[in-house]
Structure 1
């Protein structure tokens, strides 16, 4: 008898076909994890043994309680912040992720947001749309400081942060970082706190894992330390930045600009952010490349195959 997999996130047609070859698929028909389970009949819920979803999908414990045969939760991507790991441990559930599968893709977008921010590309488009550019002989935008020699501070030198550091170094930028511990395998400047890193940096790139310890790690004090010529780039999770403090810092000139791929209350984005010409916004697409998707899907399949064979998953999340 085939196992039953609950697809709590949208996946590609090709990946769906791969999963269907080894399991019976049940797909979420409405938004919201708990509501999607409510929409299923009891026999479907009782059959679900595996969940496949993006790690940011909130899976309330009360909803998971309704899945008596559940044994494995596979997260697409490196994150797993939607899951209560203490609950999973207590219940004996395996939780897996796809570490490093999307790291290079997210790092690529981080550099894109960085370049867009410091080179003021959103304002450049507005400048063109307003018809202000009359060629090099007419009015020109004010020159800005380039990338070379800028100090880039990376919050979290994990897989994504390390790729950001390497890309920034290729632009002849000076790299510093803060992590829970200094890394012995890199020569980048280590800072003992995020506040110290922000005070040093021209650009602060957030690549932190989202959990209780990193909630609002980027707060008003950090933004004040970053300063009126500093830029914030966030490609981690929206919860790592105090969004209210960020908007205040942007509107009052306490920082120079920002590049954001993630938001505190996704998919809602504060209207104020759309009014700011010195902010670049993208809809959480850091890991949305074909290469990252294929790597994530391969990781999920490998974990499911191991689980069905009675073996430990290949990439379990520590519980």
Structure 2
């Protein structure tokens, strides 16, 4: 059942029109088309001058914002929307939105959980195999003619039967663990709270998890509470035979520390789908064969993006008609 929003929002019984809905940043094409054709919403301009003009003329009347996980409603924008009631977020991550200010003001936030779990977990598994088995480097070895010239490709690392640590055993982390069990892997985890319902071994810190496992998979939620959770201490604990896979958020890892660890051989390799300053990956990593780099495509399948778009629009329609959200963040 949809969850009721704040009492303040419930009191807002007047209909919400398109001029009271603001699209913030680029969103999924299906969502963008619906916002335009079905709701006739406003769009926050890219240009600073046009943005300021729109907020000056319409900021006080905006009651709902629609955004993506990458372009949220930040502190400055939220402060300029004094009557904002709800933020409809396309994506499971919402760390680009000022959730603290939203909570203080009773602004409800929705995201799109569950529908992308499988595809993100599949991406994590692909990164895991590509990184340990050097599959990307091996493909380049064929394409550039090295194999045809008589060279031998270097031996890689066995992927089956590894001790794998999952940092963040939420829905996606659990889906990754289930897949790795099929590879005979021994699963360990660290979470903000221990999960008594799972049989995996719990560790009280990220550093301890890294020290006790051979591969560290980062699946923790983004945001201030997890910023640089994987720091120099954790990277050192991963060790020169260990690997890191990140399908969470780039901010969860101290990126400069990771670059140095890879360049110095402090860790064996990394598979990265996310970065601190997207769409820019650290230039130092571009030529390294022990690093697999992906363009933040964790949930990037036609099927999953369609499901995410549908859930985003369901949340918007539910809020407009009932002042409720289908999938509010907890």
What is the TM-score normalised by the length of structure 2?
0.87
Instruction: After superposition, give the CA deviation of every residue in 1:65-114 in whole Å (9 maximum; x if it has no partner).
Output: 22244211111111111122221122221111112221111111111111
Partner of 1:16: 32
CA distance in 2, matches of 1:99, 1:13: 19
State how 1:196-235 maps to structure 2 within 5 Å: 196-235=208-247
User: Does residue 53 of the first structure (1) align with residue 53 of the second (2)?
Assistant: no
Query: How far did 1:36 drift?
Result: 6.9
Partner of 2:92: 78
CA distance in 2, matches of 1:103, 1:36: 38
Partner of 1:262: 274
More displaced, 8-17 or 140-149? Answer: 8-17
Partner of 2:303: 291
Could you tell me which of 155, 158, 164 is aligned with 1:143?
Answer: 155
State how 1:100-179 maps to structure 2 within 5 Å: 100-134=114-148, 138-179=150-191
Contact 1:78 1:101 in 2 (8 A): no
Runs of 4+ with deviation above 6 angstroms: none
More displaced, 34-43 or 8-17? Answer: 34-43
For residues 299 and 160 of structure 1, do their structure 2 counterparts lie closer, same or farther at Cα, with a shift above 3 Å needed? same
Partner of 1:97: 111
Instruction: After superposition, give the CA deviation of every residue in 1:267-290 in whole Å (9 maximum; x if it has no partner).
Output: 232210112111111111112222
Instruction: After superposition, give the CA deviation of every residue in 1:235-294 in whole Å (9 maximum; x if it has no partner).
Output: 111110001110010001011111111111222322101121111111111122222222
For residues 35 and 262 of structure 1, do their structure 2 counterparts lie closer, same or farther at Cα, with a shift above 3 Å needed? farther
For residues 199 and 267 of structure 1, do their structure 2 counterparts lie closer, same or farther at Cα, with a shift above 3 Å needed? same
Partner of 1:248: 260
For residues 106 and 249 of structure 1, do their structure 2 counterparts lie closer, same or farther at Cα, with a shift above 3 Å needed? same
Describe the SS at the equivalent of 1:309: helix
For residues 243 and 74 of structure 1, do their structure 2 counterparts lie closer, same or farther at Cα, with a shift above 3 Å needed? same
Contact 1:29 1:39 in 2 (8 A): no
Partner of 2:6: none
Structure 2 residue ranges without an equivalent (≥5): 1-14
Instruction: After superposition, give the CA deviation of every residue in 1:273-318 in whole Å (9 maximum; x if it has no partner).
Output: 1121111111111122222222222222222222212433122223
Give the number of equivalent residue pairs: 314
CA distance in 2, matches of 1:179, 1:30: 38
Query: How far did 1:213 drift?
Result: 2.4
Contact 2:31 2:313 in 1 (8 A): no
